[in-house]
Structure 1
Amino acid sequence: MSTSTDKATPAAPASSLVDGMDGIERFLDSELAGQIDFLIARARGRGSGQANQMLADLDLKVRQSSVLALAASGLNPSQREMGEFLALDPSQIVALVDNLEDRGAVQRETDPRDRRSKIIVATEAGHELHQKARQILAESEDVTLATLSPRERKQLRALLLKIAF
């Protein structure tokens, strides 16, 4: 009597052996692999995952780094503006700013344009942290986009800006 543990593992389909594709490559011709939303989400996941891994030494993640970048930009964004630009819910922005504020990287100041609102500005330590994060993010982008030429990277950036805004 044979049990399921006695059965041999089925051989790979002949088509994947002929094409030399195994693993996830065999799905590249699927309908899903042609869907823009899927491709954007997958590219974002790969890029963010790579960046988060590289930012770990600074105890940062991409979202925190994004908030810090806006705070260090000199544009004096309010929390509301940050949320709108980063497409994050206000509670997410509050948590990210709280975390960075606890680390001494940002501070909340009264917005001179609207005294009921707070702007988020980087401290001196925040500017230093931002510079380190910027360098790491540039390296991460190079890793993520290694298969693209400089021209293709420029084109991708332009297309993504068109889609995002």
Structure 2
Amino acid sequence: MRGLHSDTGYLLYRLGLRSGQLFNAALQESGVRLRHYALLRYLATVEGAPQRELSARLGYDPSAIVGLVDDLEGLGFVERRPAPGDRRSRVVVLADDGRAFLRDTDRMSRHVTDQLLQPLAEDERTSLHALLLRISDPASTA
């Protein structure tokens, strides 16, 4: 019978838990959690996004996105604005305070990643990153 640690899916799950714990501990003082941070990081790559796109891209339940955006809007990190070309729709946009928060947390993010990947050599980290990209979004490699 195979042991638990021979199951790659389980190991990925455990790594995800550990990553989340480390990120949330590092972010604790800011009042932001990893889910908020991921949303901010995504918004930093686009000019604004409807909440349904945030849900699809981040893999979060649509009802969770509403709460996350509400939290971030309360902190002044994001704004809801009318969508270009459709004033009835709204998009979520990264605010200046959100950009500043991301700049201020860059070092923290690198530190957490370094903690997680400490046992790996630099070339192994690069390979792992490429492999994770490939399996996390198969459509991006098509």
Structure 2 portions without partners, runs of 5+: 138-142
Partner of 1:42: 14
**Structure 2 residue 45 is the aligned partner of structure 1 residue 73:** yes
Partner of 1:15: none
Partner of 1:31: 3
Q: How big is the shift at 1:57? A: 2.2
Task: State the SS of the aligned residue for 2:24.
Answer: helix
Partner of 2:134: 162
Asked if 1 retains the 8 angstrom alpha-carbon contact of 2:82 and 2:91, the reply is: yes
**Structure 2 residue 89 is the aligned partner of structure 1 residue 140:** no
Partner of 2:70: 98
Return the alpha-carbon distance in structure 1 between the equivalents of residues 5 and 116 of structure 2: 18
Return the alpha-carbon distance in structure 2 between the equivalents of residues 88 and 123 of structure 1: 21
1:91-139 Cα deviation digits (max 9, x unpaired): 1111000000011111011221544432111211111111122321111
Rate the CA distance shift 1:94–1:32 in 2: closer, same or farther, 3 A. same
1:30-53 Cα deviation digits (max 9, x unpaired): 621111110110001111111111
Task: State the SS of the aligned residue for 1:152.
Answer: helix
Return the alpha-carbon distance in structure 1 between the equivalents of residues 9 and 89 of structure 2: 35
Asked if 1 retains the 8 angstrom alpha-carbon contact of 2:48 and 2:94, the reply is: no
Asked if 2 retains the 8 angstrom alpha-carbon contact of 1:83 and 1:90, the reply is: yes
Return the alpha-carbon distance in structure 2 between the equivalents of residues 54 and 70 of structure 1: 19
Asked if 2 retains the 8 angstrom alpha-carbon contact of 1:78 and 1:119, the reply is: yes
Partner of 2:31: 59
Q: How big is the shift at 1:60? A: 1.4
Partner of 1:27: none
Return the alpha-carbon distance in structure 2 between the equivalents of residues 158 and 113 of structure 1: 37
* TM-score computed with the length of structure 1 as normaliser: 0.77
Equivalent position to 1:89, from 61, 70, 87: 61
Q: How big is the shift at 1:75? A: 3.4
* TM-score computed with the length of structure 2 as normaliser: 0.88
**Structure 2 residue 101 is the aligned partner of structure 1 residue 129:** yes
